[in-house]
Each structure stands twice: as structure tokens, then as C-alpha cells.
């Protein structure tokens, strides 16, 4: 297993680099917190958890510009392919998955909604990425009991969880998610982009620290978080 580098680009947008470069939920245009410009983004694979504009974001332009596929829920994949004939898409469904460009992506439940251009486009999802060091990106979700099943089936080493409240879990609810997932590491996301999603990452960290279940890493935009070939955080 090689090193894994995780970089937060604001909101729910994350980049995973190992042998490949994977971009998740690339909301760049209109994102006041991001460090990216869509014209300069490089990726081997783009993953989209659901159709809302702050997650689908610039995925189509990035995928077309790099000549790489988007992995997303099947109904959203169909809608995008119908509109963008040259777009490469891999449509998966809950509990399904695909290996694209050597990257394994599995779909798991998210408790939320999904639409594209005011039309329903299937369920939202979370994703588990990787086959050695596994990263669970929860997408937009509330807390739900089957997070225990995600732990039992997928054993994610790191979980990325929304804490903003209003549209997703709050810090307190996300702490319950941590207690079910029991990943070694957890990273909060989807907070502070706009006034409505005001969840506090320090509050989340304090709550998680009290349980001793996982180690919280509060990511800084554009600053890589590096995990060694043994899956341990490199300080």
C-alpha cells in the first residue's frame, strides 16, 4: 500500500491521491472557501455523491477537461449522459460499486435528498473509496443506525462526515455517527461555507475526544493530510 494524501478544498470537496488522483464533490464555482480554480484541476476520476449544485458543482467540466469518468448514482449518471454526450459516466446504486482506473468505489446509504435542475435523480449516497486504506465520504447525510453496517462491511480507516447542521448532521449528531463507524480517523466537512451551516469543528472534536473512539483531524483548506503506507497519519 502506498501513501495516501487527503486534501480538503472546502465544503464537501476532497482530493485523494495515491496511485491515482480522485476528486469528490468538486463544488468550486461559487464556493467562497475553496482554493481551487476549475480550469486547473487534474483528476483521474471524479466522484459525485448526489445532484445538488454544491456537490455536483463543476464535476462535468472537470471530467470532460481531463477525459475521465464521473462515478455517481445511476439516475444522475443517466441525466448527465443525456445532456453531455461526450461525458464518461459510471452509474452505480446503493450497495453497488465499480472499479475505474484502478480505483474501487462502493456506494452506501445517505439520508438526504438529490435533485438536478429541479428534477429527482435517484437517491443520494455516501461512498467508500479504496481497497487497502479505505476512506468513507458520507456525502450529505443525517445520522442513521446502518452506519454500524458500513463499519461491519467496509471497515473504513477514515470517515469524512458533515457537521454543518441545518441540511445535515450537527456536531453532536455526527459524534453518534463516529461512535458507530469506529474509524481510526475522522474528518469533519460541510461547515462554514455559508452562514446556515455553522457547525463548529472544535465542538465536534471535543465531543469525539470524550469518547476515545476516533481521532479527529480538522482539515485546513488546501493543506495535505498524509497517511503512510501502514495507514497511519504522518505528523
Whether 36 is covered by a domain: the verdict is: yes
Instruction: For strands 115-116 and 119-120, give the pairing.
Output: antiparallel
> Would the pLDDT of 1 be above 80?
no
Instruction: Please report the pLDDT score of residue 101 as a whole number.
Output: 86
Instruction: Give the model's confidence band at 235: pLDDT under 50 very low, under 70 low, under 90 confident, else very high.
Output: confident
pLDDT digits (tens, 9 = 90+) for 99-108: 998 999 999 9
Paired with 103 in beta bridges are 100
Whether 28 is covered by a domain: the verdict is: yes
Instruction: Please report the pLDDT score of residue 212 as a whole number.
Output: 96
pLDDT digits (tens, 9 = 90+) for 52-100: 999 999 999 999 999 999 999 999 999 999 999 999 999 999 999 999 9
Instruction: Please report the pLDDT score of residue 214 as a whole number.
Output: 98
Whether 164 is covered by a domain: the verdict is: yes
Query: 193: domain range?
Result: 4-221
pLDDT digits (tens, 9 = 90+) for 149-164: 999 999 999 999 999 9
Whether 106 is covered by a domain: the verdict is: yes
Q: What secondary structure does DSSP assign to 174-225, as a single string?
A: HHHHHHHH--SEEEEES-SSSTT----HHHHHHHHHHHTSSEE----TT--E
> Would the pLDDT of 234 be above 80?
yes
Tell me whether residue 64 is exposed, middle or buried, using C-beta atoms within 10 angstroms of its C-beta: 0 to 12, 13 to 18, 19 or more. middle
> Would the pLDDT of 27 be above 80?
yes
**Average of pLDDT values for 178-195?**
98
> Would the pLDDT of 15 be above 80?
yes
Q: Domain total for the chain?
A: 1
Work out the percent of the chain whose per-residue pLDDT is above 70.
100
pLDDT digits (tens, 9 = 90+) for 196-207: 999 999 999 999
> Would the pLDDT of 129 be above 80?
yes
Whether 191 is covered by a domain: the verdict is: yes
Whether 69 is covered by a domain: the verdict is: yes
Whether 174 is covered by a domain: the verdict is: yes
Averaged pLDDT of the chain: 97
pTM flag (> 0.75): yes
- CATH at 164: 3.60.15.10
Whether 227 is covered by a domain: the verdict is: no
Amino acid at each position: 500500500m502506498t501513501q495516501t494524501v487527503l486534501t480538503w478544498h472546502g465544503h464537501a470537496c476532497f482530493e485523494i491521491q495515491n496511485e491515482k488522483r480522485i476528486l469528490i464533490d468538486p463544488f468550486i464555482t461559487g464556493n467562497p472557501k475553496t482554493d481551487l480554480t476549475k480550469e486547473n484541476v487534474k483528476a483521474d476520476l471524479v466522484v459525485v455523491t448526489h445532484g445538488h449544485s454544491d456537490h455536483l458543482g463543476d464535476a462535468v467540466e472537470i471530467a470532460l477537461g481531463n477525459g475521465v469518468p464521473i462515478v455517481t448514482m445511476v439516475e444522475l449518471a443517466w441525466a448527465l449522459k443525456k445532456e453531455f454526450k461526450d461525458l464518461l459516466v459510471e452509474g452505480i446504486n446503493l450497495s453497488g460499486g465499480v472499479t475505474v482506473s484502478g480505483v474501487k468505489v462502493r456506494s452506501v446509504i445517505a439520508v438526504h435528498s438529490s435533485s438536478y435542475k429541479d428534477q429527482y435523480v435517484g437517491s443520494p449516497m455516501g461512498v467508500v473509496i479504496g481497497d487497502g486504506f479505505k476512506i468513507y465520504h458520507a456525502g450529505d447525510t443525517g445520522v442513521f443506525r446502518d452506519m454500524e453496517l458500513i463499519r461491519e462491511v467496509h471497515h473504513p480507516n477514515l470517515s469524512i462526515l458533515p457537521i454543518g447542521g441545518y441540511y445535515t448532521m450537527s456536531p453532536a449528531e455526527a459524534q453518534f455517527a463516529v461512535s458507530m463507524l469506529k474509524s481510526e480517523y475522522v474528518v469533519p466537512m460541510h461547515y462554514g461555507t455559508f452562514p446556515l451551516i455553522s457547525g463548529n469543528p472544535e465542538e465536534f472534536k471535543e465531543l469525539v475526544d470524550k469518547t476515545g473512539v476516533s481521532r479527529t483531524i480538522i482539515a485546513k483548506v488546501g493543506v495535505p493530510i498524509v497517511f503512510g503506507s501502514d495507514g497511519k497519519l504522518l505528523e
